[in-house]
Copies of this chain bind each other. A is one copy, B any other.
Amino acid sequence: MAIKTPAQYNESLKDLHPTAYILGEKVENVFEHPLIKHMKASVAKTFELENDEEGRKHLVTKSDLIDEEVSRFLKFYTSPEDLLAKVRMLKFLAQNIGGCYMRCTGMDAISSVGIEVYNCDQKYGTNYWQRLIDFVTMMQKNDYVLFSGVTDVKGDRSIRPSQQKDPDMYLHVVDRNDDGIVVRGAKIHQTGSLCAHWGIVVPTREMREEDKDYAVSFAFPADSEGVIHVYGRGTLESRAMEGCDLGNVEFSKFAPMVIFQDVFVPWERVFLCGEYEYAGNMVRHFGNYHRHSHGGCKCGVGDVLIGAAATAADYNGLPNVSHINNKLAEMLKVTEAIYGCSIAASVESVETPSGIYNVDPVLSNTSKLYEGKELAEVIRMMIEIAGGMVADVPSDKDFANPEIGPLLHKYLKGAEGVSTEDRVRIFRLIEKLAFESRDIVSNIHGAGSPETHRMTILRNSNIEAKKKLAKKLAGIKEE
């Protein structure tokens, strides 16, 4: 049963009892909470599509580890084709969900960790690679959802982990014994931690010898003792709480903070512990893979942005207007560039000693830089096309009011033949697409900040070789 149905996924969550706080309250039955259920619906949709004829082409693949078909979300990237398939799967899903579906951080993490633990084993004779294989095999067999814990809270950003006044600003090992290790710290922006069965921790930066207790990677059940999920508040909670004016009527995203209060991890789930020289590469791989993932999913979201803008234009009575077509073309340009660079980063991927393929870092970071800067402009153009109604359309509750409901139906209608309800629905969707803080900030800071992307591009481009090209053409002889 390596492919779950949505029903099986929902059933499986009943065995999970994570410690969770939402808006100041400890929540027992967290998966039914109104602020969690739309995210759970996103994840469940991935299981639905694993069982759908078209969807399974994207989401299901043959395992290298077990003799079964498995979710692509749980497979190492062992060929350029795997990387291409990932980008296309994420685009397909985002087109159908209109946002995040939470399963790609775990997918990106297993290959990131895999490349380096293989290298570590070669040097130090550790057996991390086999542990990771065992873990992924178990995950595949159960079609579990895995999130990854990368971003530490970081404290003072100008100083290293071991220099912080409070040593817990980065997750670290505080104790170890024959059975395993004990870790403390906190990871922030943990996309979908409350819809996942397991998490996998990746260090958030390069580490030096003095930071070696911070060079730690491991897997853990989402409801491990000492793991506390705190809901991170975004912009549109009242909609989910009230169950109206949702915009995206089924799906949403959230990203809790996850605190590790002296959590015990058995050795069999530990993938790095002190070998600090691998920490930096792990997170660099993760960053490159995850920027590559964004190339697919944000292009898919982009298709929804474009479709929503075009629909709003129709509903306003402005189909096929020259300046709107021009803006749609510009919106397409950006989303396709984001996608295209991720496709190219797949094609130009390189095999590592582990057999896992690494994406081209220059192209994957180029994709992310366009997302970080120009997707904001795509969203702005969507609002520009849709018009001012995006700002402040009355609520579904007003439409339901018998006194003013009819007046609103009358006055908020647009083009002939379009119901006022549908017109309002598209404005609400656009509002959701433009103002859901988790999504918008993810465009910029998801998978690292733009400055990191720039520096990654610079470091992975051979500037010296380009200088040589220029000098040769200029007639400059180098000794």
Distance of A463 Cα from B387 Cα, bound (Å): 19
* Given A348-B343, A414-B156, A426-B476; A188-B388 close (CB under 8 Å): yes
Residues of B within 8 A of A437 (CB): 390-392, 431, 434-435
Contact code string A276-319 (vs B, CB < 8 Å = 1, else 0): 00000000000000000000000000011011101100101110
- In the complex, whether A222 has a CB less than 8 A from a CB of chain B is no
| B235 and A235 contact, CB distance less than 8 A | yes
* Chain A 310-350 residues near chain B, CB threshold 8 A: 310-311, 314, 316-318, 322-323, 325-326, 328-330, 332-333, 336-337, 339-341, 343-345, 347-348
Distance of A395 Cα from B328 Cα, bound (Å): 38
- In the complex, whether A177 has a CB less than 8 A from a CB of chain B is no
| A155 and B347 contact, CB distance less than 8 A | no
Residues of B within 8 A of A457 (CB): 329, 332-333, 336
| A230 and B376 contact, CB distance less than 8 A | no
- Minimum Cβ distance to chain B for residue A266 (Å): 25
| A426 and B259 contact, CB distance less than 8 A | no
Residues of B within 8 A of A384 (CB): 372, 444-445, 449-451
Distance of A228 Cα from B398 Cα, bound (Å): 13
Which residue of B255, B308, B363 is within 8 Å of A340 (Cβ)? B363
Distance of A383 Cα from B254 Cα, bound (Å): 18
* Chain A 260-283 residues near chain B, CB threshold 8 A: 261
- In the complex, whether A65 has a CB less than 8 A from a CB of chain B is no
| A404 and B228 contact, CB distance less than 8 A | yes
* Chain A 414-428 residues near chain B, CB threshold 8 A: 414-416, 422, 425-426, 428
* Given A347-B343, A425-B475; A445-B387 close (CB under 8 Å): yes
- In the complex, whether A223 has a CB less than 8 A from a CB of chain B is no
| A389 and B303 contact, CB distance less than 8 A | no
Distance of A60 Cα from B89 Cα, bound (Å): 36
- Minimum Cβ distance to chain B for residue A102 (Å): 14
- In the complex, whether A1 has a CB less than 8 A from a CB of chain B is no
Which residue of B238, B398, B403, B458 is within 8 Å of A237 (Cβ)? B238
- In the complex, whether A455 has a CB less than 8 A from a CB of chain B is yes
| A326 and B390 contact, CB distance less than 8 A | no
Chain B residue, CB-CB nearest to A403: B26
* Given A332-B458, A336-B341, A467-B310; A236-B235 close (CB under 8 Å): yes
Contact code string A223-245 (vs B, CB < 8 Å = 1, else 0): 00000101111111110010001
Which are the 3 A-B pairs with shortest beta-carbon distances?
A: A232-B392, A24-B397, A307-B466
Listed A/B pairs (19) with beta-carbon separation below 8 Å: A21-B398, A24-B400, A158-B317, A189-B388, A231-B395, A233-B394, A233-B395, A255-B392, A259-B404, A303-B469, A306-B463, A311-B470, A336-B362, A344-B344, A373-B380, A383-B445, A391-B438, A429-B473, A434-B437
